[in-house]
A and B are shown apart, each in its own frame.
Chain A
């Protein structure tokens, strides 16, 4: 019995420890690239830092911290469109990164385009902000934690004697279970956003048009660094995008870079 319990404990612990063997293999060299980039940045040698971070990302394109640092380099080099692109990528892999969110806001004030925000219901905005506190794995961990709490409360309901305690534990375990489901929904949404971010940054100024044709009239001029939502990529060479203020139109795919 005791052996069995210790086995379960070991399994649970190992699940939380980072490190599949494939990831651990190339780590020291990659860390060296990152450290080289960090020290170059601190010495204000930004082009060299950019080169080092790009080397890192060539081998591991999912590290949010490296994207963030690369964004900082481009900000210092006053290459704001690329800074936006890299902060967007940071948020793709780590939506809860408050620093990246702040820097992105700051860079946006330096851009040509200042489109407002769409008028949304307040709870849609709140829900989105809440969901963006964590990435898929963050919510997955919340899910596990809440599930454990749910189980503990349910055991309390099963074995406690006083009726008041039994009622309290029963209903709170029900509420917590609802949160377990919610955390998993959030994790699913964030995971989908990470795999298919559906965001792009304008890297070459170009007009947005109502239809995918160069002869169509223009809706508005888009400038470098403007981030847009990708709506439709089915037309070759064109992408349907939505601006932050909700306007939708077509731009040439060549002038965009996907997050």
Chain B
């Protein structure tokens, strides 16, 4: 035996030495089986590139199936780090012939061209019901799962084939002291469904202990018969009333899969020989005696029942005036944590006290609620100085010793320094503490950093805008110059244009068209002034003409002469006399006026 163990150790050492990274782990499920029953032997390799497996010699076992190879990859998150890996599993289905304890030696697996040996595993085989007869269903039973070959699958489902028990860890408790109820299923048949819930009870506050969804069955012998058992549900009950209380029976409804022995084999092949049987089981009721907490209750009893401790600390290391100061009180242990009254801390009167914040860090265990209840008191000292927060007393009922106990925290010294913040600052601070974070940035919220600044594009943008401004300036200047040129050209050409018009007027006069003659003459006069002095035609009237001429330095007499001709033309236009001599006179006067203006302008230019 010793040498065997040594060998085993050597094997394990060898396996470890090959490399910590690649490991082959052997595992049997379940670890206890009945003789003749199928069980699963798995070799798991934590690597992806896996070659062949060389199984050990299975002495005393029959290989029903295997090796079946399966590979799977998994990704999981631990401490917010995503890790991943792939594993390969070789699965054998074996069955043992005789009862006893066995050790299955390790198998050798080729991983990346290296041989890696697995650990050895132990398995306990107990005497089965009626020997190996249970495994008669053979291959079919194996494929349905390792745990089914001993299920009785024919006949009726009796009370002895399937029953549910309930056990309470205590039946005599004090008020608020938790009782743990365990519902356990015993079955010899293939139970496929089961449901049953604890009803709401008046005298209790009940909470269900979360158990894994996937039930694993173990073997247990009851009155000489072998059963598969599992813990179906568990409740923690806190009695709220005193006296004799009853936890009623729970009605479980389930379904059992059975086989019909009389069915035609061909029909069974196509439709299956299985059928479902509905079963109903009621658990026995449990009566509990709840005694009241012993009287007299202490005046400052907190309502807590259990085994508890209390601690307190000043969280803020450097308290200052008008800044939040946090004091934390922690009640820890096991008991009816959720029903504890918030401990009242006595703060100095110059402190502003806000509502304490409670954090529940307890979890439901089969002892009751266990963990910490954390109470955080936020206060704001208004004046500097040394303060002492007196010890906090906490009285609870100890279920270990069955008496009231008072525990107390240490006195806390607070040295408040003068802060720089004002009262309104501290109010803002409290508002901040009591607010929640802002919502998520949803959708295509592309706040990409560092895309424009420092890029070539950015420099080119400046160049482009500078260039564009240059172009605009150039275009504007050219336009202005061109406008200026038009004026100049008009001015230069004014005399010529006037002469052309006067020629036209002369033609009219000779043709005897008096109204057209006066019109053309007026046009010639106006056009000359408009071009020469850059007066837009829209603004052309006698006043603007006079003022433009005056500012250009034309003499009074010339202006008067020009104006009189223009006025005469305007007048004659609407009442033409038609006398050729008068037309001639007007024609000569107009020509003279234009020549006079031109001459005076020329004289001015020369002077300059």
Give Cα A161–Cα B143 distance, bound, in whole angstroms: 100
* Chain B: minimal CB distance from A174 (Å): 15
Q: Which of B123-131, B176-184, B314-322 contacts A (4 or more CB under 8 A)?
A: B314-322
A106-B432 CB under 8 A given contacts A15-B457, A15-B461, A144-B465: yes
What are the residues of chain A within 8 A of B450 when measuring CB–CB?
A: 62, 136-137, 191, 194-195
**Is A155 in contact with chain B by the CB < 8 A criterion?**
yes
Nearest chain-B residue to A58 (Cβ)?
A: B82
* Chain A: minimal CB distance from B530 (Å): 22
Give Cα A93–Cα B447 distance, bound, in whole angstroms: 8
What are the residues of chain B within 8 A of A68 when measuring CB–CB?
A: 440-441
**Is B339 in contact with chain A by the CB < 8 A criterion?**
no
**Is A240 in contact with chain B by the CB < 8 A criterion?**
no
**Is B282 in contact with chain A by the CB < 8 A criterion?**
no
A137-B441 CB under 8 A given contacts A47-B77, A94-B447, A155-B476: no
Give Cα A13–Cα B166 distance, bound, in whole angstroms: 78
Give Cα A42–Cα B454 distance, bound, in whole angstroms: 38
Contact between B449 and A64 (Cβ–Cβ < 8 Å)? yes
**Is A82 in contact with chain B by the CB < 8 A criterion?**
yes
Give Cα A72–Cα B417 distance, bound, in whole angstroms: 34
Nearest chain-A residue to B419 (Cβ)?
A: A116
* Chain A: minimal CB distance from B461 (Å): 5
Q: Is the contact region of chain B dominated by helix, strand, or loop, or is it mixed?
A: loop
* Chain B: minimal CB distance from A48 (Å): 8
Give Cα A99–Cα B323 distance, bound, in whole angstroms: 23
What are the residues of chain B within 8 A of A159 when measuring CB–CB?
A: 473, 476, 480
What are the residues of chain B within 8 A of A103 when measuring CB–CB?
A: 437-438
Specify which of B82, B435, B469, B480 is in contact with A151 (CB 8 Å cutoff).
Answer: B469
**Is A23 in contact with chain B by the CB < 8 A criterion?**
yes
A139-B438 CB under 8 A given contacts A5-B471, A109-B429: no
What are the residues of chain B within 8 A of A136 when measuring CB–CB?
A: 449-450, 452-454
Nearest chain-B residue to A191 (Cβ)?
A: B453
Contact between A72 and B437 (Cβ–Cβ < 8 Å)? yes
What are the residues of chain B within 8 A of A79 when measuring CB–CB?
A: 80
Give Cα A255–Cα B448 distance, bound, in whole angstroms: 29
Contact between B80 and A187 (Cβ–Cβ < 8 Å)? no
* Chain B: minimal CB distance from A83 (Å): 9
**Is A128 in contact with chain B by the CB < 8 A criterion?**
no
What are the residues of chain B within 8 A of A195 when measuring CB–CB?
A: 450
What are the residues of chain B within 8 A of A152 when measuring CB–CB?
A: 469
**Is A169 in contact with chain B by the CB < 8 A criterion?**
no
Query: Considering the complex, which residues of chain A in the window 144-179 have a beta carbon less than 8 Å from any beta carbon of chain B?
Result: 144, 147-148, 151-152, 154-155, 158-159
Give Cα A212–Cα B537 distance, bound, in whole angstroms: 91
What are the residues of chain A within 8 A of B462 when measuring CB–CB?
A: 144, 147
Most buried by B among A103, A106, A139: A106
Chain A residues with a Cβ closer than 8 Å to the other chain, count: 65
**A-contact bits for B439-479, CB 8 A (1 contact / 0 none):** 11111111111111110011011101111110111001000
Contact between B461 and A12 (Cβ–Cβ < 8 Å)? yes
**Is A41 in contact with chain B by the CB < 8 A criterion?**
yes
Give Cα A17–Cα B81 distance, bound, in whole angstroms: 36
A69-B441 CB under 8 A given contacts A94-B447, A147-B462: yes
**Is A51 in contact with chain B by the CB < 8 A criterion?**
yes
Specify which of B317, B447, B465, B471 is in contact with A65 (CB 8 Å cutoff).
Answer: B447
Contact between A51 and B447 (Cβ–Cβ < 8 Å)? no
A12-B464 CB under 8 A given contacts A106-B437, A155-B476: yes
**Is B433 in contact with chain A by the CB < 8 A criterion?**
yes
Give Cα A87–Cα B443 distance, bound, in whole angstroms: 19
Contact between A109 and B324 (Cβ–Cβ < 8 Å)? yes
Specify which of B323, B445, B469 is in contact with A154 (CB 8 Å cutoff).
Answer: B469
**Is A213 in contact with chain B by the CB < 8 A criterion?**
no
What are the residues of chain A within 8 A of B420 when measuring CB–CB?
A: 116
* Chain A: minimal CB distance from B94 (Å): 39
* Chain A: minimal CB distance from B398 (Å): 32
**Is A105 in contact with chain B by the CB < 8 A criterion?**
yes
What are the residues of chain A within 8 A of B439 when measuring CB–CB?
A: 99
Contact between A135 and B449 (Cβ–Cβ < 8 Å)? yes
Give Cα A64–Cα B445 distance, bound, in whole angstroms: 9
**Is A201 in contact with chain B by the CB < 8 A criterion?**
no
* Chain A: minimal CB distance from B445 (Å): 4
What are the residues of chain B within 8 A of A63 when measuring CB–CB?
A: 446-448
Contact between A148 and B449 (Cβ–Cβ < 8 Å)? no
Specify which of B82, B432, B438, B440 is in contact with A41 (CB 8 Å cutoff).
Answer: B440
What are the residues of chain B within 8 A of A148 when measuring CB–CB?
A: 465
Contact between B473 and A51 (Cβ–Cβ < 8 Å)? no
Contact between B441 and A65 (Cβ–Cβ < 8 Å)? yes
Give Cα A146–Cα B546 distance, bound, in whole angstroms: 49
Contact between A155 and B473 (Cβ–Cβ < 8 Å)? yes
Contact between A147 and B437 (Cβ–Cβ < 8 Å)? no
**A-contact bits for B120-146, CB 8 A (1 contact / 0 none):** 000000000000000000000000000
Give Cα A112–Cα B476 distance, bound, in whole angstroms: 67
Contact between A97 and B453 (Cβ–Cβ < 8 Å)? no
Contact between B440 and A42 (Cβ–Cβ < 8 Å)? yes
Nearest chain-B residue to A23 (Cβ)?
A: B448
Query: Considering the complex, which residues of chain A in the window 66-111 have a beta carbon less than 8 Å from any beta carbon of chain B?
Result: 68-69, 72, 74-75, 79, 82, 92-94, 97, 99, 102-103, 105-107, 109
Q: List 6 A-B contacts (CB under 8 A).
A: A5-B471, A8-B464, A11-B464, A79-B80, A82-B80, A137-B451
B residues near A (Cβ < 8 Å) are 77, 80, 82, 315-318, 320, 323-324, 420, 429, 432-433, 435-454, 457-458, 460-462, 464-469, 471-473, 476, 480
Ordered nearest first, which 10 A-B pairs have the shortest CB separation? A65-B445, A93-B449, A136-B453, A140-B453, A65-B441, A99-B438, A151-B469, A64-B447, A137-B452, A94-B447
A residues near B (Cβ < 8 Å) are 4-5, 8, 11-12, 15, 18, 20, 23, 31, 38, 41-42, 47, 50-51, 54-55, 62-65, 68-69, 72, 74-75, 79, 82, 92-94, 97, 99, 102-103, 105-107, 109, 112-114, 116, 135-137, 139-141, 144, 147-148, 151-152, 154-155, 158-159, 187-188, 190-191, 194-195
